[in-house]
């Protein structure tokens, strides 16, 4: 399966993983310093998911985080996050991707509406590398485009926190070369940006990927990693 393909709900793999949540009592979220996170300051529709196929396929990445948030009381039992990710979307406009568009345009479309974005959960760059075979030019262009998006977000002034996750090395050639630049851009952002490197999570778990896309098991692992970082850094709690 190509990185830019695959409908929501298809994993391309027969691998299965439980998506049920624990029924135990959920403790109040605490940040990295152990203090209780502020709660009730961000509504579900102010949290926006943007990105490419690693957000869209198989689709349970998003619903896993949503269900964790419902369980924890961060959002209501019938609430859901806003979602604009598209398969095959790119970070850099140097690639002609037709209707898939750029990841920045996904953010811009939502931000132009009446409900402004307060929290951004995103990936990006993996498909750029895929279509360019991980070229040095693509690595540089992705990093620059991410820096430009971060500057736009800061200038707009509504986003309070960003969570960016970088796909594992198995997703595309050139991810290892991209990692330092994306992590540095995130760290330098004037809007707090939490960087999630999926490589440690994916290590020794070939069942998490089918071809270059996450399986159902991988989507669960990805969703849990995102939610853990959201709790650690008091994101949309």
Q: How far apart are CA 15 and CA 169, in angstroms?
A: 20
48 contacts: CB under 8 Å, gap ≥ 6: 81, 82, 83, 84, 106, 107, 110, 117, 119, 120, 121
Burial class of residue 183, CB neighbours in 10 A (0-12, 13-18, 19+):
middle
Please state the rounded mean pLDDT for residues 16-24.
Answer: 34
Contact by Cβ (8 Å): 47, 82: yes
Element (H, E) at 202: helix 199-202
Q: How far apart are CA 225 and CA 209, in angstroms?
A: 16
Q: Give pLDDT, residue 98.
A: 59
Residue 56's nearest CA partner among 20, 96, 94, 89 is 89
The structure tokens listed for 188 are 């330098």
pLDDT of 125-140, one tens digit each?
Answer: 999 999 999 999 999 9
Taking all residues of the chain, what is their mean pLDDT, rounded to a whole number? Answer: 88
pLDDT of 52-106, one tens digit each?
Answer: 999 999 999 999 999 999 999 999 999 999 999 999 999 998 876 555 689 999 9
Q: Give pLDDT, residue 182.
A: 98
Phi/psi at 232 (nearest 5 deg)? -60, -40
- Residue 212 pLDDT > 90, yes or no? yes
Q: Domains plus CATH for the chain?
A: 44-232 (3.40.50.1110)
Q: Which residue has the higher pLDDT, 138 or 25?
A: 138
Q: Give pLDDT, residue 95.
A: 74
- Residue 21 pLDDT > 60, yes or no? no
49 contacts: CB under 8 Å, gap ≥ 6: 55, 62, 81, 82, 83, 84, 85, 121, 122
Q: Give pLDDT, residue 94.
A: 83
Element (H, E) at 196: strand 193-197
Burial class of residue 197, CB neighbours in 10 A (0-12, 13-18, 19+):
middle
The structure tokens listed for 131 are 């279509």
* DSSP structural state of residue 88: T
Q: Give pLDDT, residue 206.
A: 96
Contact by Cβ (8 Å): 218, 59: no
């Amino acid at each position: 399966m190509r990185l830019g393909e695959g409908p929501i709900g298809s994993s391309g793999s027969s691998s299965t993983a439980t998506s049920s949540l624990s029924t135990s009592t959920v403790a109040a979220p605490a940040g990295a310093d152990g203090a209780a996170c502020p709660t009730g300051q961000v509504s579900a529709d102010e949290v926006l998911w943007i990105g490419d196929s690693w957000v869209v396929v198989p689709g349970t990445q998003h619903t896993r985080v949503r269900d964790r948030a419902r369980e924890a009381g961060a959002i209501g039992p019938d609430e859901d996050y806003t979602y604009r990710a598209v398969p095959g979307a790119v970070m850099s406009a140097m690639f002609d991707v037709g209707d898939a568009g750029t990841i920045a345009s996904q953010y811009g479309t939502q931000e132009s509406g009446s409900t402004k974005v307060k929290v951004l959960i995103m990936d990006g760059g993996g498909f750029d590398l895929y279509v360019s075979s991980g070229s040095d030019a693509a690595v540089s262009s992705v990093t620059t485009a991410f820096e430009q998006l971060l500057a736009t977000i800061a200038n707009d002034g509504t986003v309070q926190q960003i969570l960016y996750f970088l796909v594992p090395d198995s997703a595309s050639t050139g991810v290892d070369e991209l990692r330092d630049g994306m992590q540095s851009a995130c760290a330098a952002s004037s809007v707090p940006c939490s960087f999630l490197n999926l490589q440690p999570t994916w290590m020794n778990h070939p069942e998490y990927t089918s071809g270059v896309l996450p399986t159902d098991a991988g989507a669960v692992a990805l969703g849990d990693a995102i939610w853990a970082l959201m709790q650690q850094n008091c994101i949309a709690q």
